[in-house]
Structures are given as C-alpha cells and as structure tokens.
Amino acid sequence: MIDLTDDLDALRDDWGVEITFIPKVGSSVTISDAIRHDEPADLMEGRSMRRIAFELPASSLSRDPAKEDAIRDAAGTVWLVTQVKRLDEAGAWYLDVERSTRT
C-alpha cells in the first residue's frame, strides 16, 4: 500500500477549507482541513452541471458518515450528503453532496 500521508497533509494545508459536519444524529464537528471538489458533471438536457464533493480526513469524524448527513461551508451553504466513499489509501472520506434546504 502506498503511503500518501505527507502529500495529503501538504495538500490539505494549501487547499483545505473549514466546514461544519452535521450528522443526522449526534453533535456537529468543525473540520478545518476539508477539501472541496467542484468539477463539471455530465451534461443533462443540454445544461452544464457541477459535481460538488467534500473530502474529509477520516480521523476528523468519530463515526462513519452517512447519506443525509450535512455539511455547512464557510459561506453558510448547507450541503446534503448523497453518496459516501471511503478512500482507504488517502485516509479520507469522499462525500458527494447536493445543495440542501436544511439550515
């Protein structure tokens, strides 16, 4: 297994953003080194779409994240978790999200 710890720590130092992870059940957690992914998604009916995801260090959460947990970014936007992927080689969680009406 490849150890990417040093590279990932440097990446989080340079690109990390502060978010609040809001589990559906339990207490919220502030994470200062999450990485926000914002990339083009598949075209849908001729409109361009964006795919938003957050990558969180696995050590920052006391339990596994789940669908319907939420993330509040620094701008106050709340994102609902729609898909959870564990990135073992990166020691992180990759959470696909969509904008939520939850506050």
- pTM of the predicted model, to two decimals? 0.79
Q: Which residues contact 11 (CB under 8 A, 6 or more apart)?
A: 35
pLDDT of 36 > 90? The answer is: yes
The stretch 31-36 carries a mean pLDDT of 94
Mean pLDDT of the chain: 84
> Taking Cα atoms as reference points, which of 95, 92, 61 lies closest to residue 79?
95
The stretch 6-30 carries a mean pLDDT of 79
Q: How confident is the model at residue 51 (pLDDT cuts 50, 70, 90)?
A: confident
Q: How confident is the model at residue 57 (pLDDT cuts 50, 70, 90)?
A: very high
